[in-house]
Amino acid sequence: MNLILLGAPGAGKGTQAEMISKHLNIPTISTGNIIRAALKSGTEMGLKAKSYMDAGQLVPDEVVIGIISERLKEEDCQNGFILDGFPRTIPQAEALDSMGIVIDKVIDIEVPDEKIAARMSGRRVCENCGTSYHLLYKIPREEGKCNECGGTLVQRKDDHPDTVLKRLTEYHNQTEPLKGYYEKQGKLFIVEGQEEVADTTALTFKALEA
Ligand code: AMP
């Protein structure tokens, strides 16, 4: 199954993607994680993306479209994949269509802006492998340490309150129109984000079976 997870930054797409990945045994492709990895290894693409990311802006379409078109050609994507954080603009969705990639379902995780701002202040990420945690909702076994690799958990620069507001504005202006785009194709499934991750996951799995 080829899936897209839509939703505002901080709506919990990454966590839901992880659950679906395990459930269906298909990889999650996160453009944010790919860009952060490129940044860490100091590639030209990573450095180019940094200023946009730090300012809470979207990276130019041609950069992320290039990343995705290369990544989806890899072997592990041939039986399905979950796109987390792509597409984020109409031109990105059109690029997927013109690559001949058929999307089966788009799951949109809806969380009100007020809740997002509060949630993002508790978000932490492993600086080594990129796994996400939350101080309230997804607590690591050992404080400040990643369950997967033991790496140090840090707050992303773009999760700071001012940047979060900018990212939400970008989301409403540029990404939200994708709901209409996929609704017209009959592929949109809306999941209301719940207080408990497990409750959101139950709704996500229901949407997968619908
Ligand atoms: P994420 O980890 O998905 O929240 O992405 C972090 C940041 O990476 C975003 O705020 C953007 O600056 C950039 N980014 C990730 N995916 C995209 C995309 N599809 N289009 C443009 N920018 C992106």
For residue 128, the model assigns a pLDDT of 92
Q: Which atom of ligand 1 is nearest to the CA of 60?
A: 21
Task: Report the pLDDT averaged over residues 52-75.
Answer: 91
Nearest to 9 by CA among 162, 120, 124, 105: 120
Q: Is residue 84 a contact partner of residue 34, using CB atoms and an 8 Å limit? A: no
pLDDT over 90 at 94, yes or no? yes
Encode pLDDT of 146-165 as tens digits.
999 999 999 988 888 888 88
Q: Which atom of ligand 1 is nearest to the CA of 31?
A: 16
Active-site residue, 157 included: no
For residue 130, the model assigns a pLDDT of 87
Q: Is the CB of 175 under 6 A from ligand 1?
A: no
For residue 198, the model assigns a pLDDT of 93
Q: Is residue 174 a contact partner of residue 88, using CB atoms and an 8 Å limit? A: yes
Find the catalytic residue in 119, 123, 124, 138: 123
**Amino acid of residue 186:** G
Active-site residue, 141 included: no
Active-site residue, 156 included: yes
- Check residue 172 and report its DSSP letter: I
Alpha carbons 96 and 91: distance in angstroms, whole number:
9
C-beta atoms surrounding 12 within 10 Å? 27
- Arithmetic mean of pLDDT over the chain: 92
Active-site residue, 71 included: no
Q: Is the CB of 123 under 6 A from ligand 1?
A: no
